Amino acid sequence: MHKKEITIYDIAEKLDISPSTVSRALNENSLVNKKTQKKILAAATLMGYRSNTFAANLRMQRTNTIGIIVPRLNSYFMAEVISGVENVTNEAGYNLIISQSMENPEKEIKNLKTMFNNRVDGLLVSLASGSDGISGFGVFEEKKIPVLFFDRVPTTVIVPSVTIDNETAGFQMTTHLLNMGAKKVFHITGDQSVNVYRDRTKGYKKALLAAGLSFNENQLIITDLSEEAGIEAANLIMKNGGDGIFVANDGCAASCINELKRQGKNIPKDIIVGGFNNDMISRNIDPPLTTIDYPGFEMGRVIASKLLDHLGGKFDMHSTPLITMKSDLLVRSSSSFINRNP
């Protein structure tokens, strides 16, 4: 059905040389004569030759492909990360194959299997909530296929991972809210089996403690961090009274703020709020949201580079498994009287 593909044999025959030489020339192997190479390259373009990756992969036992599995593709943060990853892998001539676990550990294992069967050279993973980061990964270890975790990483084992210091960030944010005068700070967060949320909560509690405040269980609101959850949490806070909120992501913080406003609260006069991620939304709601700058694109570039460097033998990921990236507290009007909009 397809027109016949041109192979190195066709080129070899036409030029009356051996396939080995053609192969070498095409791969810019320095062993071949400059003139022969030029001739071969010219013939290749002329004949419309394209290399067959599969034959090469089959022979070389590698694929030039790296895989990435994320909990969900459709978040601003993940989109940024993937953009950063693509940027690096594409540059380096690697293919990127993507899948999402939909926050489902079983689907994660299924995706893992697919990646494995597709012989990815390396894997980037951000865990589904509820996943331990162990089940399903054994095969990769056995076959020495490098796996690098990022953002949501396993915590019961030490494996190569890139994160930010969520606990410190949570501590900074909470301390900031307390410093701005909040007396009763709520914390809206996600599934505590996920390291990022658990650590942010840890930082939150630590900050309360450091300020001599006791932690009250009903100030901790555990949700799925959706827009809807923000609204429900707002209602809860209206009922229980509070003057500060630290939300573990910006989208949820935004909808929470809006609900509070609808109910007549003034932000930041009555309640001050901080989010997390520095999503586009944090800059554009009213008032602009104090948040933690968590640079997704940059993280994407970092994890891809680490993995490729490891594959290239430039350094061993396992020698310094735990990498922490910088994150920053960004103070905006939602938590500050001084900068508040008129």
Partner DNA sequence: TTGAAAGCGGTACCAA
Partner DNA sequence: TTGGTACCGCTTTCAA
Distance CA 21, CA 261 (A): 73
Q: Are strands 161-164 and 185-189 parallel, antiparallel or unpaired?
A: unpaired
CB neighbours of 44 closer than 8 A, spacing ≥ 6? Answer: 6, 11, 22, 26
126, 100 contact by CB (below 8 A): no
Kindly list the residues in this chain that would bind a second copy in the complex (CB under 8 A): 1-3, 50-55, 57-58, 61, 63, 65, 72-76, 78-80, 82-83, 86-87, 90, 93, 95-100, 111, 114, 116-119, 142-144, 227, 251, 254-255, 258, 261-262, 280-281, 283-286, 296-297, 341
Strands (E), 139-184: 147-150, 161-164
Distance CA 133, CA 123 (A): 13
Verify binding: residue 179, DNA, rule CB under 7 A.
Answer: no
Which of a second copy, DNA, none is residue 36 near (CB under 5 to 8 Å by kind)? DNA
Which of DNA, a second copy, none is residue 144 near (CB under 5 to 8 Å by kind)? a second copy
Verify binding: residue 118, DNA, rule CB under 7 A.
Answer: no
Which of DNA, a second copy, none is residue 19 near (CB under 5 to 8 Å by kind)? DNA
Please select the residue that binds DNA; options are 46, 47, 55, 322, rule is CB under 7 A: 55
Verify binding: residue 33, DNA, rule CB under 7 A.
Answer: yes
Which of DNA, a second copy, none is residue 285 near (CB under 5 to 8 Å by kind)? a second copy
Which stretch in 18-26, 83-91, 93-101, 252-260 sits in contact with DNA by CB under 7 A?
A: 18-26
**Is residue 95 classed as helix, strand or coil in its secondary structure?**
strand
Distance CA 77, CA 216 (A): 31
Distance CA 62, CA 294 (A): 34
**Site residues (CB under 7 A) for DNA?**
5, 7-9, 16-21, 23-24, 26-27, 30-36, 49-52, 55-56, 58-61
